[in-house]
Amino acid sequence: PQGLVLLTSSVLAIATVRLARRKVLAQQLYCIETLARVDVLCLDKTGTITSGRMEVEGTYPLPIEGFGMGAGEGEAAVPVDTTVLDFALANVARATSADANETCQALLNYYADRPVEVSEPLSVIPFSSSKKWSGASFAQGSYVMGAAQFVLSDRAFAQVENRVAELADTCRVLVVARVDGFTPDGDMAGEAEPVGFVTIRDEIRTSAAETIGYFNEQGVTLNVISGDDPRTVSSIARVVGVPGADAYVDATTLDTPAKLDAAVDRYHVFGRVTPQQKRELVQALKRREHTVAMTGDGVNDVLALKEADCSVTMAAGSDAARNVAEIVLVDNDFASMPAVVAEGRRSINNLQRSASLFLTKTLFTMGLAALCIALPPYPFEPIQMTLINFFCIGAPGFVLGLEPNNARVKGAFLTNVLKRALPASLAVIMAAALDIFVARVFGFSQLTLSTMCLLTSCAASVSLIWRISQPLTPLRVALFVFVVAGILVGVIGFPELLSIANLSMGQMVILAVIVAFTCSVFFKLATMMDSLKPRRRHAATGFGRGVRVRLGRGGGKVSSTGSTAERFAMRVAADMAQRREARTVREAEARALEGVAQTQPKKKKSAGAKRSRVTKSAQGIKVSMPSKKKK
C-alpha cells in the first residue's frame, strides 16, 4: 500500500500544523494518536488547574517565648516592631530569591512594601521537592519554611494539626519554625519550634472547570497529583468539578508499594506526592492497561512525564519538563487540551477508514496471486488497476482522511483496519475465482475475464466505501457519487485505454449475478467482523521511549533501555530461552521415566498383583512401589 505512507505522513503533518495554529507544539507525531486514546489523565495542580500565580492570603503568628528578643546566646534580637513570623518569612524569601519558585515570589511581593528589617543570611538551604522546605540562618537565628508534616516533629505537629487543617481547607499552608541551625548536609539541627503560619492562595484558571467538564463527558478518568497539602488539593479539585475529589490521600502514608498500588483504585486526589511516587502512580495505572496522560511543568514532574504514555507541559514550565514532554502548550493554557484530543481523534479515525481502502487492494492482490499460481493466468491487466487506484483508493482515501471527525477512538488501529479490509478482500477473491470458473466453462476470452474481474472488484470497493462512509454527510454523499460516476465514465468512455471488453447481453447478465453475489458476501462478512469483540483493550506504548532516569543523592543518571528493535529482540531471545529450558526439562523427565521403567524387574501378571507406578509430581519424578507382605 504505497499511498498509505504518503497519506499517514500528510494527515499527521496537517494535524501538527492545525495544532500549531492553536498554540500547541507537538514534539512527537505519534503523541497525537496516543492522546486521542487516553482514558486516564493525571493533572498536576500548580500550572494546570491553577495558573501558577500565587498571592499571600494572610499570616498567622503563634505566641512564643522571648518575643522581640534574641532567642539564644550571642544572637541578635528581632526588632520590637516586627513579629518573629514576619521577620522569618521576609528574610527566608529574600535569602532564597536566587532560585525563587512561585511561593517564594508571592512572599517577596507581599513583603516588598512592608517595613521588615533585612538581615544578611549566614547560610541558605534552598527549597527541595524531597524535603518540602527551605531555610536560612541569620544573626537573629535559624528559620525554616515549608509543609508542616515535613518540618515539625510528630509531637509538635500534633499540637498545631487542627489549626493547619482549618487553614488548609481553602489555601496552601506553610509553617514557619525556628531551629538550632543546619548540618553540613543541609538538614535541620534540633527540633523545630513553630512560630506561625502563612496561607497562600492559588489562582484557579477561568477555563479549568470547562476543560475538566469536557474530559468528564468523554469518559476520561481524572487524577490530581500534587506535592501540596491534600486538603488544599481536594478543595481546588472540588471547585473545578473533578469527580471523587472529596476522597483524598496523603502520599506520606503510602510508605509501601502495596499501599500505593491499592490507593490508585480508591482515590483520585493525591497530596504530598514525591517525584518518585508520581512515577510509581503512573506505572500502577499502566499496569492496569490504562492509556495514561500526565501534565506537569516542574522538575519534580519529569519522572512521571517520561513514564506516561503521553506527556503535556506548559511553555512557561521548566526546561527539563519541556524537553521530556511530547506536547507543549505554548500559550500556557490547559483549555487547549480538548482541541488536541479532537485533532487526534480526527487523524486516527480518518486514517483507520482510509487505510482499509489501501489494505483491501494489497490483500486481494496477494490472495489472487496465490490463487493464480494454481489457476493461471492472472485475471487483471495492469492498466485496469489505474481505475481502481484512483477512484476506489486514492481519491476517497485522501478525502476521508482529512474531513472533520470527533468520534471517540475505539479498539486497536490494525484490528479496526483489518476488520474493514478483510471482508472486501475476501469478497473480491471469491468473485475473481467465480469469474475464472465461469470464463473456463463458457470459454470467455482473457479480455472478457479481466473486464469481469475489474467490475466485480469495483463493486466490492464501492460497497466498502459506502460502509465506511456511515453515517452519511453531504461530503461523503458527494464522494460516493463521484466514485461511482468516475468508474462508469472510465468503463464506458475509455474502453480501449483501460482494456475493457464489449460484453454481450448474456455476459452482462452473468456479470450482474456475480456482482450481486460479491456485494452480498461483503456485507455478510462485514457484519460478522463487526460482531467480533476484541479480547483485550488497546494500550498505547509511545514509540521511541527507551530512557531510564534514576535520581540519587549524588545526582541524576540517564541511561538507555535500547531501541524498540533491541527490546523486541531481547523479548524474543528470552522467550526462545524459556522454551529451550522447558524442552530440556521435558526430555530429562522422559529419560528419567525410561530409566526407572527399565530398572523394574519383569514379573508375570497375576490377578491380584500390584505393580509399581511412575508418575510426575511437583518435585519431579514419583515412584510408587507395592508394599511387600511378610510371610
Residue by residue, DSSP assigns 558-594 as EEE---HHHHHHHHHHHHHHHHHHHHHHHHHHHHHHH
- d(C-alpha 8, C-alpha 528), whole Å: 28
3-state secondary structure of 44: coil
- d(C-alpha 549, C-alpha 557), whole Å: 6
Question: With contact defined as beta carbons under 8 Å apart, do 395 and 465 qualify?
Answer: no
Question: Omega of the bond prior to 61 within 30 degrees of 0, cis?
Answer: no
* pLDDT tens per residue, range 288-326: 989 999 998 888 889 999 999 999 998 888 888 899 999
For position 172, what pLDDT does the model report?
84
Question: With contact defined as beta carbons under 8 Å apart, do 91 and 138 qualify?
Answer: yes
For position 603, what pLDDT does the model report?
46
- d(C-alpha 372, C-alpha 378), whole Å: 6
Domains of the chain, start order:
23-50+204-338 (3.40.50.1000), 79-200 (3.40.1110.10), 341-531 (1.20.1110.10)
Q: Which amino acid is it at 502?
A: N
Strands 620-624 and 613-617: antiparallel
Which phi and psi angles does 307 have, rounded to 5°? Answer: -80, -30
SS3 content of the chain, % helix, strand, coil (to 5): 50, 15, 30
Residue 479, C-alpha cell as written in the block: 464522494
Grid cell 484558571 in the structure block, residue: 205
For position 540, what pLDDT does the model report?
41
For position 601, what pLDDT does the model report?
52
For position 431, what pLDDT does the model report?
92
557: β partners: 550
- d(C-alpha 35, C-alpha 628), whole Å: 74
42: β partners: 223, 294
- Ranges of residues in the chain with a pLDDT under 70 are 1, 64-76, 533-568, 585, 588-631
- d(C-alpha 69, C-alpha 66), whole Å: 5
3-state secondary structure of 352: helix
Active-site residue (options: 39, 44, 309, 435)? 44
Handedness of CA 285, 288, 293, 299 (dihedral sign): positive
Q: What is the largest CA-CA distance in the chain?
A: 117
Geometric angle at alpha carbon 547, from 545 and 550, rounded to 5°: 145
Which phi and psi angles does 101 have, rounded to 5°? Answer: -95, -175
* pLDDT tens per residue, range 520-567: 999 999 988 888 765 544 444 433 344 444 444 444 444 555 555 666
Answering whether pTM is above 0.75, one says: no
Which phi and psi angles does 376 have, rounded to 5°? Answer: -70, 165
Q: Is 44 one of the annotated active-site residues of the chain?
A: yes
Instruction: Report CA-CA distances (Å) from 520 to 456, 506, 514, 523.
Output: 12, 21, 10, 5
Ramachandran sector of residue 50 (left: φ over 0; alpha: ψ -120 to 50; beta: rest): beta
**Secondary structure tally for the chain: helices H, strands E:** 20, 20
Residues 6+ apart with CB under 8 A from 110: 55, 56
Residue by residue, DSSP assigns 356-378 as HHHHHHHHHHHHHHHHHHHS-S-
Residue 331, C-alpha cell as written in the block: 500559550
Between the two ends of the chain, the Cα-to-Cα distance in Å is: 85
Residue 231, C-alpha cell as written in the block: 486538603
